[in-house]
Amino acid sequence: MKKGNPAALLPIGVFLALYLGLGLTFEYALDIPMGFYNIPIVVAFLAALLVACLQNRSLSFDEKLEIMGRGIGDKNIVTMILIFLAAGIFVGVVGRESAESVAYFMLSVVPARYAVAVLFVVSCFVSVAMGTSVGTITLITPIAVAVSNAVGFDMPLCIASVIGGSMFGDNLSFISDTTIAACNGQGCRMKDKFRENFFIALPAALVTLALIILLTASTPLSEMAAKDYDLLKTVPYVLVLVGGIVGINVFVILIVGVVSGAVIMLATGSAGAYELIGNMGDGASGMFETVMVAVLVSAMCALIREHGGFDFILSTVKRIFKGKKGGQLGMGLLVGAMDIATANNTVAIVMANPIAKDMAKDYVISSKKAASILDTFSCIFQGIIPYGAQMLVAISAANELGATVSAFDIMPYLFYPAVLLVSSLVFIFVIPEKGASK
């Protein structure tokens, strides 16, 4: 086991100091309104990447560029970027009116008091079927924004409910990258891992749903003016939501949404051909910051891995945690640390898999339990970090529709990841595992 190099983790510290440190200083110490918006996250990551490039002088700059290129070219990163761009085009095509039509139609069927709870439940179902939290957030966040504007619920609460529901499905879906990575890495069957996860995730989801209902029950609702909605304009969202529930590939779903949205906008005269093309470009451009963060994070993490930062994390976890329960907690914190470092839960699981498999043998932990822990804890951390893809794409989608919200507005309402952590700890320390078979 390599001891690794703790200094290789310095770029992460630099990013956190710049982004969180300056943001908190501007917002609370200097009392600057919307202080966090004055900290460009791309610049913070560029500074962190520069620090990573200055480390490890045994490698030339050209060699470091090659390492960064391999990190950026990873399949998961490329897939994520393409989803971001396709999602931006979809939002650009359907626009605000379509999301508002969906919201007002939903409010005409469901009592307004339970609108946020419905957002959470729908996000759970769609993410389970689609296997992607980012895709789910992209599709449902515009509806959440419209619900907030129509009824008066806090915007951060509505968006956080969508993020929480999306992480529920990311953790349980058979076609999720995290599920596939965890099961393949630990050598267990997906159905066994699903059963293990289900009894951890379902109680957390039910408690979260209860919290949302209790919180919204005491929220004074604004008087919702009767507003007409065009059912025809809800078709793109209905198609993508049904496609998600059925389990169609996210790219196919988004293409169907873009095509149907374009046809409807042209047919109803809501937009001309020239305007529609411009809206597509604006939608894709709106994802610029999110795409750049994905690129910069992957490049930075490739250098951190090469410089020994990940080896240090792995060796530290294995050295500290003893005993079967300690080993399970160590696995969870291991993948959590990797997720904080990479901002990608699939990559975190892939990185943690080898050492977790060794730990499972040492601590006599079944492969299904190990896979469940890796997937669950990666989703817990990925669901709350302010620079994760889920948070960034939610903010981008909301801001494109005229909302003004930051990650730190949303984080206090992320009930599901917090409750999922409690549920996971209960299953580790209170409820004993039955046997140690696969």
Q: What is the pTM of this model?
A: 0.69
Q: What is the DSSP string of 29-49?
A: IS--TTGGGGS-HHHHHHHHH
Q: Which of 368, 427, 434 is nearest to 191 (CA)?
A: 368
The per-residue pLDDT for 338 is 78
Q: What is the pLDDT of residue 434?
A: 59
Mean pLDDT for 145-151 is 84
| pLDDT score for 420 | 95
- The rounded distance, in Å, linking the Cα atoms of 137 and 56 is 38
DSSP state letter for 55: S
Give CA–CA dist 183/336, Å, rounded: 17
Domain boundaries, the chain: 6-429
Residue-wise pLDDT tens digits, 195-206: 888 889 999 999
- Residue predicted with more confidence, 97 or 431: 431
φ and ψ of 181, to 5 deg: -65, -45
Distance CA 115, CA 119 (A): 6
338 compared with 11, residue with greater pLDDT: 11
Candidate from 98-107, 150-159, 305-314 with smallest mean pLDDT: 98-107
- pLDDT for 51: 93
For 182-193, the pLDDT digits (tens) are 887 788 887 888
Q: What is the pLDDT, as a whole number, of residue 436?
A: 46
Max CA-CA distance within the chain?
68
pLDDT above 70 covers a percentage of the chain that reads 87
Whether the predicted pLDDT of 241 surpasses 70 = no
Query: What number is the average pLDDT over the span 338-343?
Result: 76
**pLDDT classification of 5: cutoffs 50, 70, 90:** confident
CA-angle at 409, arms to 406 and 411, nearest 5°:
105
Question: Does the pLDDT at position 438 exceed 50?
Answer: no
pLDDT at 110: 79
pLDDT at 361 over 90: no
Averaging pLDDT over each range in 92-96, 216-220, 426-430, which range is the top one?
Answer: 426-430
Measure Cα distances from 31 to 19, 23, 27, 69, 337 in Å. 16, 11, 5, 40, 32
Mean pLDDT taken over the chain: 81
Between 99 and 164, the higher pLDDT residue: 164
Least confident range of 216-230, 233-247, 399-413: 216-230
CB–CB of 355/342 below 8 Å?
no
When mean pLDDT is compared across 45-59, 136-150, 157-171, 312-326, the lowest value belongs to 312-326
